[in-house]
Amino acid sequence: MYSYALLEPGCYYLVQEKQDDALTLLQVKIVSDNCMYIVKYKDTEVSEWKKKTDTIYDIIELLSDDIVKGWIDVYYNNKDAFYSDEDE
């Protein structure tokens, strides 16, 4: 088991928060003395505060800048696919 305290601000991580959970991509946005503000990327973005002592079952990977850039291209292009000019 790991804790959120191991995660660095500005970085993207693939984590498994609980055993048998699906993988979650998250980014640490802000770090205070005792907490961290994170964004989880799922179907929609979910922002929340976590205590540094909150547990993470497994930290799978710290994503490189190249992988993050590729993911951003795919993630945001797919979100646009749900909206067409007819919706305006």
> Residue 42: which pLDDT band, with cuts at 50, 70 and 90?
confident
Written as six digits, the tokens of 33 are: 């003395």
User: What average pLDDT does this structure show over 38-52?
Assistant: 93
Angstrom CA distances, 29 to 32, 58, 77, 84, 88, stand at 10, 20, 22, 31, 32
Is the pTM value of this prediction over 0.85?
A: no
- pLDDT of residue 43 exceeding 60, the answer is yes
User: Could you state, in order of their start, the residue ranges of all structural domains in the chain?
Assistant: 2-63
What is the distance of C-alpha 42 from the center of its chain? Answer: 8
- pLDDT of residue 79 exceeding 80, the answer is no
